[in-house]
Amino acid sequence: MKEFTYIRAATLTDLPTGATIIAGGTNLLDLMKHEVMTPGALVDISRTGNDQVEVSGEGLRIGAMVRNSDLATNQIVRRHYPVLSRALLAGASGQLRNMATTGGNLMQRTRCPYFYDTRMACNKRSPGAGCAARGGVTRNHAIFGTSEHCIASHPSDMAVAMCALDAEVEIVGPESRRVPLDQFYRLPGDRPDIETVLQPGEAIAAVHLPAPAGGVQRYRKVRDRASYAFALVSVAAVAVLVSGRIERIALAFGGVAPKPWRNRSVEQALTGETPSPALFSNAADILLADAAGQGGNDFKLPLLRRTLTAVLHDVTEARA
């Protein structure tokens, strides 16, 4: 690990320019040990507050410093946003959840092995270097939203659930603003190193959830082992049924794109319809129309179809 300057911030509104933010450090410290990231200065925001889950209007404000373990077990979250609690509990070991923060979870970097290996070409790590993952081992890589410059997938479970819940990210900086989580992440395009819409001097202050949607909520994660493994595919679903028809449904997908993936056309095809195997098959067709495997991850296409279909059966049958 290379030498760096350590700064402890008192507030989020006066962060030093050019310093890398550290909160729980569960991802950043690993990256620094591997010299994937070599910041000259770290600014510690762990004592800046924003560590509460609070009712805000009809919804919820989750401070950026709320630990994943506290959020997963929060009674309001468990009762009204269970898809979020389930995603968090599926996300990592208990020890990591005790350290990891809400803001840090959203900002974690890809687990692409070519990104972590500094001997390999990686446009996300070194813009213009190339993408060694293309033509390499691609089992855990994306099938949506990729570019010729990057095929890495986003690792967060929490972000997938929050995307299905229509969360918004509260950003502080020269001008405070709120951004829908679905728009917070950037697709790689020709600059995979720029992963979010955050500008210099900005930081995540909180995540806002809207009023509880009710209905049936599920998070299903398919992975290589039952504990402490990243998703091959995951599905977060929030469904409200009225008189046997799907009145509202939100779906987000993980392990398959450079960001939590949401396809509104799939939701539109399901809304207002009576649940049936044919309807669910059509929804999967719409979702997978934009998918493209990289060889080693071609299995994700049928796996995502089966997982989506199983979740749709679950959230619609559970209502009855």
**Residue that is written with structure tokens 């991850």 in the block:** 297
Predicted local distance difference test score (pLDDT) of residue 318:
62
pLDDT band with cut points at 50, 70 and 90 for residue 90:
very high
pLDDT in tens, 220-234: 999 999 888 999 999
pLDDT in tens, 142-172: 999 999 999 999 999 999 999 999 999 999 9
CA dist 170 and 202 (Å) reads 10
Output the DSSP codes for 256-282. Answer: SSSS-B--HHHHHHHTTPPP-HHHHHH
Residue 189 · residue 147 · CB < 8 Å: yes
pLDDT in tens, 266-278: 999 999 999 999 9
CA dist 75 and 115 (Å) reads 38
Predicted local distance difference test score (pLDDT) of residue 279:
98
Whether 99 shows a pLDDT value over 60: the answer reads yes
Comparing C-alpha atoms, which of 17, 19, 39 is closest to residue 29?
39
Give this prediction's pTM. 0.96
Predicted local distance difference test score (pLDDT) of residue 320:
39
Domains contained in the chain, CATH given:
5-46 (no CATH), 216-316 (3.30.390.50)
Predicted local distance difference test score (pLDDT) of residue 14:
81
Residue predicted with more confidence, 129 or 201: 129
DSSP H or E stretch at residue 296: none
